[in-house]
Amino acid sequence: MELNRRTVIAGAAAAGLAATALGGTAHATGGRKPVKELFGKLADGTKVYRWSLENGGTRMKVLSWGGVVQSLEIPDRKGRYANVSLGFDNIEDYVAKTPYFGALIGRYGNRIAKGQFTLDGKSYQLSVNDGANSLHGGAQGFDKRVWDVEPFTKGSDVGLHLHYTSADGEMGYPGTLKVKVTYTLTRHGDWRIDYEATTTKATVVNLTSHVYWNLAGEGSGTIENHELKIAAGRYTPTDSGLIPTGELAKVSSTPFDFRKAKPVGRDIRDGHPQQILAQGYDHNWVLDKGITAKPEHVATLCDPSSGRTLKIATVEPGLQFYSGNFLDGTLTGTGGRTYRQGDALCLETQHFPDSPNHPSFPSTVLRPGQTYKTTTVHTFGA
């Protein structure tokens, strides 16, 4: 019988089982003030801090470097904890090697063709860092910045306010962009992300989170047996540079059809031309709901072996599903094991890639006097 997460936590607490580190047993917790500790120093001496949060049975560690979620621990169906987010145990690897593990992404999540766009008749050249294209904000995106972090407790919730000001012209983007991102752990153990931004000049913005998920536990092996469901009847095919062609293609009768839950690996080797280009899945799904005022459930990920589940709700119109195609065995994670191709996946809530160059896509333009706002909620179960 599958138990819901609150039943697992309550049952463990009733049995008097104490929570421990990885492999320990879940217990019900109240919201406690986040704890700050030094994580490391950058080459110039800048200190990077780590914040530990716990609420509702979810444990999370966040770095001031890139707003990185270094670890996120949740219980399985038997109440045993595992860290389900890929990451490193030192700042040096985050600086030199990370493929955006757990990071906040900006100013623009995903790709912009040739790092170029035109807005109000003026052309802009962005930092190019992915072949001929700009990826995730450029060579020094928000994932490589030190954020100001302010902890909070509010009622039964705990969390962090993260602040960063991106200067006019940074990575080629116009306007001084003031960004506030709030990570909240609710009393039920949900992880909510609220993004806000304002600008001094017309610009483009597309913020997201780049957690690599493995619900069996980081370093435990492939996610191809994870079952995934996405509420999307279309996706955006790409060219060889993974830039959208502009088409909104139907998922029906293709490996991209996740409207009913299926194992990630079931169709991953079907040889569809789009899979060959991406070496797996690395595409934006066009969510059926479109843009909404409040977060709506759009995706469910389940690991049958542990019973852990992740449900994602968002206001965004798109979801980038990346199947960890470029993990190559050269990175060693927090658990001391190497990460190989397909050892994790990403589910990035967002506007569509390269939207500034596709007028038919939902707009990512932000103007002075407007406030960019978007929310994504992660709900965990077992």
Active site residues per annotation: 210, 348
Question: Alpha helices, DSSP H only, in 218-375?
Answer: 273-278
Number of neighbouring beta carbons within 10 Å of residue 248? 16
Number of neighbouring beta carbons within 10 Å of residue 108? 32
Asked whether 101 and 94 are in contact (CB, 8 A), the reply is: yes
Element (H, E) at 264: none
Which pair of structure tokens corresponds to residue 189? 């153990």
Element (H, E) at 8: helix 5-14
| Residue whose pair of structure tokens reads 């700042």 in the numeric block | 91
Q: List phi, psi (to 5°) of 144.
A: -115, 25
- CA end-to-end distance (rounded Å), the chain: 11
**Spatial distance between the Cα atoms of 72 and 83, rounded to a whole number of angstroms:** 5
